[in-house]
Structure 1
Amino acid sequence: MAAGLTSLHFLITLYFIVKIPLMFAQDDQFIYNGFNPENLHLNGAAQIHPNGVLQLTNNSQEEEVGHAFYRLPLKFNTSSSGLTQALSFSTNFVFAIVPEIPSKGGHGIAFTIRPSWKFTNVAAGNYLGLLNPSNNGRSTNHLLAIELDTTKAQGPFDKDNNHVGIDVNSLKSNESATATYFSDQEGKNISVELVSGNPMHLWIDYNETEKLLNVTLAPAGITKPNRPLLSTRIDLSQYLLESMYVGFSAATGTVTSDQYILGWSFNKSGQAQSLDVSKLPQLPRQRKSKDRQGQIIMILIIAVVVMLILVTGTAYNSRRKKFEEILEDWEKEYGPQRLTYKNLYNATKGFSDKEFLGAGGFGKVYRGTLPFSNTQIAVKKVSHDSKQGMKEFVAEIISMGRLRHRNLVKLLGYCRRRGELLLVYDYMPNGSLDKFLYSNEKPNLNWIQRFRILKGVASGLLYLHEEWEQVVLHRDVKASNVLLDAELNGRLGDFGLARLYDHGTNPQTTHVVGTVGYLAPELTRTGRATTCTDVFSFGAFMLEVACGRRPIELQGLPEEVVLVDYIFLCCGKGAILDASDPRLEGNYVVEEMELVLKLGLFCSHLVPEARPSMRQVVQFLDGNAKLPELPNDKACFGTSTSNEASDFLLSFPSSFSIASAPSYSSNDSILRSGR
């Protein structure tokens, strides 16, 4: 007894001295007045601030997902085991949604009960990081979610852009209501705005006997109202399994929000304790949000003034040949995606040598800063012949400008001037990956960084192949087209050779484009690019990152020419790790290195149908699937045994250096051929 009092005295003393939030957890009930990492499983963007605030998403990244779950599974539906434990539960939590743009938040938070705290292949945006278009509505989801939704989805999904919903196995709510609370004093419902940035309190209570689920909302600090916002009869024993996890999921879309949980109380065997708002940690200072609002208003005012000046000076500027552009009637529909040459010229300081980043593919790349917005950009200048294929090409450029994924370089827009096409991308401060692999001017990447880059690029390719509204073939996956952001996350860029087509149809490409060493052998024969040819290129890229060597090096001995052959030789000797990059000095996770090398060979299979899909590649890299045994036959892999590939390589001049191979097109330029 004395020891217990001593421990309690210590915790109370610790709270008043260092201000650590007091937390309580016992079996199937807990209360957190703030959080620490030991309490929760965190996924995605979720993080815990030093003062104990749980942040699920932030407004710096579009299409973002964050998860936080109680660490232990709880017993819910025990009817199948013959036990009599009740299914009833009670929980309440305080949350806050702080939008990037006042009154416009995306996409919301959901309290959820599901079989696992781990997630694979979930979508951001309207799916709130819980499901995706293919599994939404499946009875096998065993999912209950109470959504706090701040965006109205198209179709029958949502009531409005400010509602609370009860979701079972689907993000189409069984019941939903606009966010209000019942004022006991005034005797009426009062509207609240979920994206107000102010803390709010949500109570969720399920009574198994009455099969009644109640959801109650109120601003933080107000006593729980007597009348719930939502009340529906539902038998959760039909949906919940015996062992389930409880927690939160949140997501953003093209519109973003900072989404927080300040405190959480849960009880599986009775009424959950109500949170005392005065004990909860404070939100990060929201004055910045107000400042941002003022900045946005100021930027809009400046933009209007500048637009008036530009309109007034159009006649004068049109006479200045220095900034003359090509502008045809069909381009008017693209509006904001068409950037002015003058702005790009000024952004890059006249395309000065000091802003030159490098040359690749079909043009030179320059760094710049857009006027008025201070957005850092990379501008690629490409030669073109506007007489053939330009309308179709620009249409695809605009389509790809709508791609949104954390591992893709965002295409911001384009400009046409005389014999040039200018493509504008987000600027990546750490440049291309190949500089880190092959140049002494960049530091060596460790294995953790390399493996994260591989997983990120694989996720980006999966999005292009299966998860966007159309299939996107990149057709030039290689280290020089993978750019690194400030945190050294890999982003696949340079969509100059990309091709789009509808899901369920066949691509109509008929020209060989890409880079020697990354070209699938069937591509050199048929000229037809598919998702399988992208997978082959990604396999070569995986081996390149793991080994620190280019796929083909003509300068070496014959056994060193083709990287796939060298790795297969090492594998046959039972020493596949000998192929790893010597600069890593053995500092890597052996299982991960073996997986990457063998998966790279798997993707390099000569038979397209034998290669894995990008979804399978992601599953292998995430450890959610076991890699099959590789065929013990050298003739199954790479390009060295392919007559077509050998003939293709021999067609290059003897002085051509494969070690720095540029992107290649069988018609010199896709912009001339119209693709």
Structure 2
Amino acid sequence: MLVLIKLILLVVSALVSFASSQDLSITYNGFRSANLSLDGIAEVTPNGLLKLTNATRQEKGHAFFPNPVSFKNPPNSSAFSFSTTFIFAIVSEDPILCGHGIAFVIAPTKGLPGALPSQYLGLFNGTNTGNDTNHVFAVELDTIQSKEFNDINDNHVGIDINGLNSKQAKPAGYYSNDNGIFQNLTLFSGKAMQVWVDYDGTAKHISVTLAPIRAGEPSKPLLSLTYDLSSVLHETMYIGFSSSTGSVLTFHYLLGWSFKMNGVAQGLDLSQLPKLPRVGHKKKSKALTIGLPIILIASLSIGISGVIYRVRIKKKFTEVLEEWEREFGPHRFKYKDLYIATKGFRDKGLLGRGGFGRVYHGVLPSSKLEVAVKRVSHESRQGMKQFVAEIVSIGRLRHRNLVPLLGYCRRKDELLLVYEYMPNGSLDRFLYQQPEYTLNWNQRFRVIRGVASGLFYLHEGWEQIVIHGDVKASNVLLDSELNGRLGDFGLARLYDHGTDPQTTHVVGTLGYLAPEHTRTGKATTRTDVYAFGAFLLEVVCGRRPIEPHSPTEDDILVDRVFSCWKKGQILEAADANMGLDYVKEEVELVMKLGLLCSQSEPTARPSMRQVVLYLDSALALPDLQSLGISATGLSFASQEGFSDFNLSYPSSMDKPFSHASSSAAESLLSGGR
């Protein structure tokens, strides 16, 4: 009888536990008294922060709710709805680089045995990532672009199911409730941000939303994916967080967490959340600030030579720094760091030179990151505040086919732009300088599609419209895998969607300038398309748009291609150096598209959205015969009348133009801003 009573009590207890698990609701406004299962390097700080990682490289940290959570009714195979929200912060020791990200995870076990740190985020390893037997659902907040997992960039949010190839991913940011405009966020900014993850078990729909901590939940989610998690989730699972470190020391914090099964997660009380540790150097003590002058005075007689030396060094590295520039924060580099990185801007590290300045290879002393540093001149009359603001804005662009602009520095009459280093240099080096390695057609076509994708992102994919202003082969750089990346944003201009650009200076490179640009001085998306058309022909034909010293009459490339097309032999204009192993239809498509983009009438040119569709064969290219394209409608703007404008050289390594145009080619960056 006693045994029967115990058995009944056990069954009742199990049923109560199961029912409560179905309606589980947890809320942690800080983790000081939270009952969590921690492993790896995860810990709870004295003030209640859940610190998933510390100053240890190549390690992982996990924090899980200790009890299993029921995600299904045993008779029913359909997964329940659930909702969670949490507040996190990622703090890196380096203002430019970051370690790896953080992930909310639902897994069959707590601890995720066998998972690796670094790019695996403490979730999987090289053997099991992508396996359906993992039964893992995760939302990653990733700060490293791992190409093996097809990451879109180094600052994204993704929905992961059984592996790190995200089912859906987008750049980190949110849609403002005020105007619906997308606002970018930097995950490792050190600032607290809030995430909402919701799964509708009836509609089989996942939504993920991100926002600054005090912005409130946006009405439009960042990620929206229809996916049935019933086959992924077991009847009982564990919920928690995972993070990992790589080579750059990075701290991952959670300030609060709320989870609700079959309902909406309770909102977090921001007033109760623990404070993040102070980022940056501590203030100097009074003993130091008061005692130091005394020490200096006392040792003045014996240290006068040292003081003079330091003054000279300080003068050598003096920068232009005005009060308004402080708002741009981490985008500002110290001149001293760039001087050390480039070993004093020695000619040995010179990567190239042109009308806008010289470019040097360097290695940043703190992070060991390889960079390309461009030194250009500026004039104070050009409104430097607006210029730097635009440079910083462009530094927020994130696309796999753009060269990342990391920041800038000002010193005396110099402006230094810092880019990520591209090991294979510029495309024109492969086209014109007869290297030992020539690009075949497949490589050229991949570069073309990449640059088109990057331009489409600039024109339509970002919060503002970005006009590059100088699309050409010498401004397309190749990464370690020979992917094309559009770089050199020295002439770029930004303006809001729905407005007209106001630039009234002709800047760019002769041969790539649209006719209306030379007349009105206004750079638009259509002028970028014109330059892209010249670029297409340049890559396919292996010739510059204009050959000033050509002994033949075919010194204008677009005229040569048009002539071949009219004769029905357009492939005659193709570069013989790329061999004969190419798809004829692709080469013809690109050359015809180059002619289409080179039309003198701006409205007749396709948009970059259409260009991408043409290149992907998702849209049929119109018949050029039916468009009535003529040689006069395709000719490049002549050199006549250009002496009053600022033009750049056609290549970073080219000689200046002929005598008639050499004065026109001498340009300053400030002339176009």
> Contact between 1:554 and 1:657, CA under 8 Å: does it hold in 2?
no
Deviation at 1:290, TM superposition (A): 4.6
Give the Cα separation in 2 of the matches to 1:543 and 1:427.
27
Deviation (angstroms), 1:619: 0.4
Q: State whether structure 2 residue 350 is matched by structure 1 residue 356.
A: yes
**Structure-2 residue corresponding to 1:224:** 235
Q: In 2, Cα distance between the equivalents of 1:564 and 1:167?
A: 58
- Give 1:515's aligned residue: 509
* CA drift at 1:357: 0.6
- How do residues 606-625 of structure 1 correspond to structure 2 at under 5 angstroms? 606-625=600-619
Letter in 2 for 1:435: R
User: Residues 308, 411 of structure 1: CA spacing in aligned structure 2 closer, same or farther, 3 A cutoff?
Assistant: farther
Counterpart in the other structure of 2:9 = none
CA–CA separation in structure 1 for the residues paired with 2:134 and 2:544 = 55
Matched, 1:109 2:159: yes
Counterpart-to-counterpart distance in 2, 1:543 and 1:327: 43
Change (3 A) 1:331 1:555: same
- Residue type of the alignment partner of 2:570: I
Please tell me whether residue 420 in structure 1 is matched to residue 414 in structure 2.
yes
Paired with 1:674 and 1:105, the residues of 2 have a C-alpha distance of: 31
What is the rounded CA distance, in whole Å, between the counterparts of 1:321 and 1:617 in structure 2? 51
Contact 1:430 1:484 in 2 (8 A): yes
Q: Aligned partners of 1:342 and 1:374: how far apart in 2? A: 15
Q: 1:175 and 1:304, CA in 2 relative to 1: closer, same or farther beyond 3 A?
A: closer
In the alignment, is the contact (CA less than 8 A) between 1:559 and 1:566 conserved in 2?
Answer: no
| 1:389 maps to 2:383 | yes
Point out where structure 2 has 5 or more consecutive residues left out of the alignment.
1-113, 122-128, 145-153, 211-226, 253-276, 297-306
Structure 2 length-normalised TM? 0.59
Question: Match for residue 429 of structure 1?
Answer: 423
> Is the 1:447–1:584 contact (alpha carbons within 8 Å) kept by the matching residues of 2?
yes
Q: Per-residue displacement from partner, 1:404-445 (whole Å, max 9, x unpaired)?
A: 111001111111111111010000000000000001235100
Q: Is the aligned partner of 1:327 residue 2:321?
A: yes
RMSD of aligned residue pairs (Cα, Å): 4.8
Q: Following superposition of structure 1 onto structure 2, how do residues 137-156 of structure 1 map, counting pairs within 5 Å?
A: none
* Distance in 2 (alpha carbons) for counterparts of 1:127 and 1:327: 30
2:590 aligns to what?
A: 596
Q: Do residues 204 (structure 1) and 254 (structure 2) align? A: no
Matches within 5 A, 1:633-672: 633-635=629-631, 637-640=633-636, 645-648=638-641, 660=654, 669=667, 671-672=669-670
Q: CA-to-partner distance for each residue in 1:176-232, whole Å, 9 max, x for gaps?
A: 9xxxxxxxxxxxxxxxxxxxxxxxxx9734xxxxxxxxx984xxxxx5239x99xxx
Cα deviation, 1:111-145, whole Å, max 9, x if unaligned, reads 69xxxxxx9xx9723699xxxx9999xxxxxxxxx
**1:397, CA displacement in angstroms?**
0.6
8 Å Cα contact 1:338/1:414 also seen in 2: yes
Tell me what 1:568 maps to.
562
Secondary structure of the corresponding residue to residue 382 of structure 2: coil
Q: 2:171 pairs with 125, 135, 138, which one? A: 125
- Give the 3-state SS of the residue equivalent to 1:634 in structure 2: coil
Contact 2:456/2:608, CA 8 A, preserved across alignment: yes
Letter in 2 for 1:377: V
Alignment partner of 1:535 is 2:536: no
Cα gap change, 1:674 to 1:540, in 2 (>3 Å)? closer
Q: Which amino acid aligns with 2:640?
A: D
Deviation, structure 1 residue 560 = 1.0
User: 2:366 matched to which residue of 1?
Assistant: 372
Distance of 1:481 and 1:305 partners within structure 2: 39
Match for 2:229: what amino acid?
I
> For 1:448 and 1:54, how far apart are their aligned partners in 2?
37
Could you tell me which residue of structure 2 aligns to residue 411 of structure 1? 405
Quote how far apart the aligned CAs of 1:380 are: 0.3
Whether the aligned pair in 1 keeps the contact of 2:403 and 2:420 (CA below 8 Å) is yes
Q: Which whole-Å CA distance do the structure 1 matches of 2:401 and 2:352 have between them?
A: 21
Cα deviation digits, residues 359-380 of structure 1 (max 9, x gap): 0241000000111111110000
Contact 1:511 1:665 in 2 (8 A): no
* One of 435, 456, 459 as aligned partner of 1:462: 456
Q: Aligned partners of 1:415 and 1:175: how far apart in 2?
A: 35
| Corresponding pairs, count | 456
Once the two structures are overlaid, the 10-residue window that deviates more, 352-361 or 491-500, is: 352-361
State how 1:48-127 maps to structure 2 within 5 Å: 93-94=135-136, 106-109=156-159, 124-125=170-171
Change beyond 3 A, Cα 1:351–1:397? same
Q: Does 1:482 align with 2:476?
A: yes
Amino acid at match of 1:645: S
Deviations 1:210-269 (A, max 9, x none): xxxxx984xxxxx5239x99xxxxxxxxxxxxxxxxxxxxxxxxxxx99xxxxxxxxxxx
The equivalent of 1:163 in structure 2 is 197
Match of 1:535, SS? Answer: helix
After superposition, the Cα gap between the structure-2 partners of 1:523 and 1:69, relative to the gap in structure 1 and judged at 3 Å, is farther
Secondary structure class of the residue paired with 2:571:
helix
Q: 1:667 to 1:577 in 2, by over 3 A?
A: closer
Between the aligned partners of 2:392 and 2:355, the Cα distance in structure 1 is: 20
* Structure 1 position 93, deviation (Å): 3.9
C-alpha distance in structure 2 between counterparts of 1:168 and 1:636, whole Å = 62
CA apart distance, 1:308: 8.2
1:391-414: CA deviation from partner (whole Å, max 9, x where unpaired)? 111111111111111100111111
Structure 1 position 521, deviation (Å): 1.1
Indicate if the aligned counterparts of 2:140 and 2:159 stay in contact, CA closer than 8 A.
no
TM-score (norm 1): 0.59
What displacement does 1:96 show? 6.1
One-letter amino acid matched to 1:585: G
* Counterpart Cα distance in 1 of 2:407 and 2:327: 13
Task: Look up the equivalent residue of 1:638 and give its one-letter code.
Answer: L
Q: Which moved more, 1:630-639 or 1:600-609?
A: 630-639
The answer on whether the counterparts of 1:167 and 1:174 sit within 8 Å (CA) in structure 2 is no
**What is the CA–CA distance in structure 1 between the aligned matches of 2:201 and 2:171, rounded to whole Å?**
16
SS of the equivalent of 1:472 reads strand
Distance 1:504 1:661, change over 3 A: farther
Residues 390 and 671 in structure 1, CA contact (< 8 A), matched pair in contact too:
no
SS in 1 for 2:229: strand
Alignment partners' CA distance in 2, 1:447 and 1:110:
35
Question: Take 2:115 and 2:668, find their aligned partners in 1: how far apart are those partners?
Answer: 49
Closer, same or farther: CA 203–459 of 1 in aligned 2, 3 Å: closer
* 425 and 390 in structure 1: CA distance in 2 versus 1, 3 angstrom threshold: same
